[in-house]
Structure 1
Amino acid sequence: MPEPAVRKTTKQQRAEARAEKVRAHQQQEVARKRNRRIATVSGAVGGAAILALVITFVATATEPLQRPQDIEIEGLKEFSNLPATHIDPAPVDYQKNYGMAVPAGGDHSQIWLNCGVYNEPQPNENAVHALEHGAVWVTYDPDTATDDDIAALRNAIPDQYTILSPYPGQPAPFMASAWGAQIEMDSVSDARLAQFVDRYWKSANAPEPGASCSGALQGPGLVA
């Protein structure tokens, strides 16, 4: 008799769904880069060369894509064993308690910040609750970031389950944070931002993956 199928846990199902989304995102990135490069050379080379270029990119697009948890990110900071207690209305000193210049987890408000694009700083405790739901929080130093930088960041991150906001005094021009993880960047063109999103956006390893990122607190300065 055939062995009965093993029923997957909710966490396993979420992890598989998350991996599928990341694979789709990676495939879209491959196609976007392929089309851009083909367009760049199309005016300067003949049809045979273009055909060869297309074949090359099609071949590379069929290569196995990484699982989110296997993506290695240079300079990644990780924070383990973070508590997730609701502490309203007391504020949290994330620098003192966890060594975080920009919060990437820990105790937080029971009310999450709605994901979106903001042009004003956001309350730490509410933003951290959004990270608990699997959001990625991208922050920039408002004293150095230009309008073009901010536009580039908006284009580089998904429309859902992300927060983009200024963070005065942060230690790097640009930063990306998820629950228990963080990177610092000097430029909006840093390739690690895409890697970070692929690994942590809507991650099944967040404490409450799949919980809502809307319908709660709308912070000041909402743009989109």
Structure 2
Amino acid sequence: MIDADGQPAPPRPEPAPVVQELGPRRLPLVLASVAAALVLAAALVAPLVDRLVRGDELEQRALDLSLVETWEITDRAHTTGDVTYPQDPPAGGAHAPIWLACGVYDEPVREENAVHDLEHGTVWITHDPGLSAADVEALADRLPDNGIMSPREGLPSPVVVTVWGAQLRLDGADDERLGLFLEEYGDGHTAPELGVSCQGGTPDPQGATPDEGTNT
């Protein structure tokens, strides 16, 4: 531009930018919008985190039960004689006609009778006789109602948990895999006579009954 004297006029200063301050009415709206965005983000992320956690749990569970041994056992014949089983402890097969009563035994039980319990869907926990009293008590506390527990010489591990057709060797009474095994197999679904249970069996660890005296 040219001024009155014909000289170029100095440039006009540009106006300073106007900074709008958040008034007291707008601030709550902004905070509410931020809070809503955070809630929405949490809602979107939570299911993803849950799936990841569940996936890790399932993977760990599969890993922990990967050492479970299983067999297809079809022989369910009754016999009063001794049976040579391929597993130690046995996980099924021919067995005595009398089963053992549910509970904890402080001496070894006759395996032919225990196998009859397995046929009924019973859980059989065996442990090394040298296991401490505290460890034995800890195992007994975890024994299902439909379960028997007994010491056994020559076990391949300190503790072995068995159902019909499935077995897991444990490192001790505090082995966390016991809980996983009971969760997976404790309902007796692998047993031929699911739901019969160990109720009504003989309390004699060697299979004796009051009327017969013995079943061998």
**TM-score (normalised: structure 2):** 0.64
On the 8 A contact 1:74/1:192 being kept in 2, the answer is no
Give 1:157's match in structure 2, choosing from 119, 143, 147: 143
* AA matched with 1:167: R
Equivalent residue number for residue 133 of structure 2? 147
CA–CA distance in structure 2, aligned partners of residues 177 and 205 of structure 1: 11
Number of the residue aligned with 1:84? 76
Query: Would you say 1:200 and 2:185 are equivalent positions?
Result: yes
Alignment of 1:54-69 (within 5 A): none
- Give unpaired runs (5+ residues) of structure 2: 1-48, 55-60, 207-216
2:110 touches 2:205 (CA, 8 Å); kept in 1? Answer: no
Aligned-residue sequence identity (percent) comes to 40
1:92 Cα deviation from its structure 2 partner:
0.3
Question: How far off its partner does 1:205 sit?
Answer: 2.9
Q: Which of 192, 199, 205 is the matching residue for 1:214?
A: 199
- 1:70-126 Cα distance to aligned partner (Å, 9 max, x none): x63131111113311111x111011xxxx2011111110111111110101001011
| SS of residue in 2 equivalent to 1:193 | helix
Following superposition, the deviation at residue 199 of structure 1 comes to 1.4
Higher gyration radius (CA): 2
> Alignment RMSD, CA only?
2.3
1:28 matched to which residue of 2? none
Please tell me whether residue 93 in structure 1 is matched to residue 84 in structure 2.
yes
Flag structure 1 segments of 5+ consecutive residues without an equivalent. 1-58, 65-70
Offset at residue 212 of structure 1 (A): 3.6
Is contact 1:134-1:203 (8 Å) kept? yes
1:206 match: secondary structure: coil
The residue aligned with 2:97 is 110
- Paired residues of 2:73 and 2:92 also in contact (CA < 8 A): no
Query: Aligned to 1:189, what secondary structure does the other structure show?
Result: coil
* 2:102 and 2:201 in contact (8 A); partners too: no
Tell me whether 1:177 sits opposite 2:169 in the alignment: no
Q: Is the 8 A contact 2:76 2:95 kept in 1?
A: yes
Comparing both structures, which one devotes a greater share of its residues to helix?
Answer: 1
* Stretch of structure 1 that moved more, 72-81 or 114-123: 72-81
Asked if structure 2 preserves the Cα contact closer than 8 Å seen for 1:114 and 1:217, the reply is yes
1:82–1:180 Cα contact (<8 Å) kept: no
- The alignment's TM-score, normalised by the length of structure 1, stands at 0.62
Q: Which AA in structure 2 matches 1:121?
A: P
In 2, the alpha carbon distance for the partners of 1:214 and 1:183 equals 24
Distance 2:69 2:141 in 1: 24
- Deviation for aligned residue 1:153: 0.4
Structure 1 runs (4+) greater than 6 angstroms displaced: none
Q: 1:219: Cα distance to partner?
A: 2.2
